[in-house]
Amino acid sequence: MMSKDYEFLKEVVLEAGQMMADTASLSIEQKGANDFVTNRDKEIQDFLIERLSKQYPNAKFVAEEKMNLYDLPGEYFVIDPIDGTHNFMNGIPLCAVCLAYVKDGEIRESFVYNSLLHEMFSASKGEGAFFNGERVARRKSLPLDRSVILTEDGWKGDKSVIRKYAACARILGSAEIGICYAGCGRCGAYISPRLHLWDYAAGMLFAQECGMLVIERNGKRARLIEPNHILVCEEDMKDELLALWAEAEPE
């Protein structure tokens, strides 16, 4: 039996996902160099904040399309209305509505919903990870030298180094989806560039509940800090991947 929080938030995210699936009448604004926002991003974020505020009147919000304060006490939500906006506005179906519910410093519930491919990655603290409502039985990923390593276009590391350790590097254009793919074994690992909270919080709980490590460059468990650099991997790949990271991106 899932918690009332999980069930309520799942329904809200499903509604938001249907808004993302409506790709008609898009308008696009440029926020900065290679940084864009669509009207759908804003509409989804406004919808989520409005719905969640009614159910959680004391909650705060950390969201991509608003000014934010960090180190929030009590409970708060981390929202990325569309993670993968570049993909979304170009018709590439690798984007997702992302929501994480944080209480007393811990992520309690999380959702990464790609409504264009009908894929919902969700997790509840201590209760497991789920794909489209079914508990994830994560397959063992391939050996590192045969694995795909996911990263981001903005990562300043030398991506050619990845090929010394793994089969290849790939960029999906959605950090949260990449983290979830690593969590359920669709790739060997995920190495992040500089990520904002809304880029990784929802995927982080999913990967952890799949049994994966989510760690920082020092090898310690990843924290909810802004910004952060993270690695998602299996325990037996940890040392090799930290060595790869250090070689590709010296501090």
Q: What are the helix and strand counts (H, E) for the chain?
A: 7, 14
Per-residue pLDDT tens over the stretch 97-139? 999 999 999 999 999 999 999 999 999 999 999 999 999 987 6
- ∠ CA 24-28-34, rounded to 5°: 135
Digit-coded pLDDT (tens) for 151-191? 998 888 898 999 999 999 999 999 999 999 999 999 999 99
- Mean pLDDT value across the chain: 92
pLDDT at residue 231, as a whole number: 97
Three-class SS state of 61: strand
- Name the class of domain 4-135: alpha beta
Question: The domain at 144-248 falls in which architecture?
Answer: 3-Layer(aba) Sandwich (3.40)
Q: Is the pLDDT of residue 17 over 90?
A: yes
Neighbours of 119 (CB within 10 A): 16
Return all residues near 93 (Cβ < 8 A) that are at least 6 apart.
Answer: 87, 114, 116, 117
**Range of lowest pLDDT (46-50, 72-76, 137-141, 242-246):** 137-141
Please tell me the predicted confidence (pLDDT) of residue 67. Answer: 65
pLDDT the model gives residue 70: 62
Q: Which residues contact 220 (CB under 8 A, 6 or more apart)?
A: none
Kindly list the domain boundaries of the chain, sorted by start residue. 4-135, 144-248
